[in-house]
Amino acid sequence: MELNSIKPAAGAKHAKRRVGRGIGSGLGKTAGRGHKGQKSRAGGYHKVGFEGGQMPLQRRLPKRGFKSHLLQFNAEVTLAALDKLGLPEVDLLALKQAGLVGQLARTVKIIKTGSISKAVKLSGIGATAGAKAAIEAAGGSLA
């Protein structure tokens, strides 16, 4: 094999469609753009969502709700995940190291999903009323 004999695989390359090159090509005269109008002109087009001056859909519909940028600092941990963790004392750092909450989390709350059998001492972590009752029933405590 030599450098001057290397060719791309058969069918890998195909010729670009040449428009505006006469009647015989099938794409002569208007070059597949139809007649007149904004879409036939060079450089003339519209922005995304433009409906020819009609009120666009995204402006016709009502605005609804919002997503707080502070949510990224809140996290939830289930009782089942806490039980699987198996640590006697749990704080925010321990949850981050275990990968149960994100690194940005500042506020963590235990929610009552699943069950807990081991006694766990929580420090600096909140819990829902149901989760608190389940933790205390298992012999744990919240600080």
Claim to verify: residue 133 and residue 112 sit in the same structural domain: yes
Claim to verify: residue 92 and residue 124 sit in the same structural domain: yes
- Domain with 36, as residue range(s), is 18-64
C-alpha span between 50 and 56 (Å, rounded): 6
Is 113 within 8 Å of 83 (Cβ atoms)?
Answer: no
Claim to verify: residue 73 and residue 137 sit in the same structural domain: yes
Give the amino acid at 85: L
> Has residue 45 been placed in a domain?
yes
Domain with residue 93: its CATH number is: 3.100.10.10
pTM tops 0.75, yes or no? no
> Has residue 117 been placed in a domain?
yes
> Measuring CA to CA, which residue among 138, 143, 142 is closest to residue 86?
138
- If DSSP codes are grouped into helix, strand and coil, which group holds residue 83? helix
> Measuring CA to CA, which residue among 32, 29, 35 is closest to residue 17?
32
Claim to verify: residue 59 and residue 85 sit in the same structural domain: no
Claim to verify: residue 74 and residue 117 sit in the same structural domain: yes
The pLDDT score that the predictor gives to residue 1 is 83
> Has residue 34 been placed in a domain?
yes
Percent of the chain residues topping a pLDDT of 70:
100
Give the domain-ending residue among 26, 41, 64. 64
Read off φ and ψ for residue 136, nearest 5 degrees: -70, -30
The pLDDT score that the predictor gives to residue 14 is 93
> Has residue 91 been placed in a domain?
yes
Instruction: Please list the pLDDT of the chain residue by residue as tens digits (143 residues).
Output: 899 999 999 999 999 999 999 999 999 999 999 999 988 999 988 899 999 899 999 999 999 999 999 999 999 999 999 999 989 999 999 999 999 999 999 999 999 999 999 999 999 999 999 999 999 999 999 98
Domain count, the chain: 2
Give the amino acid at 4: N
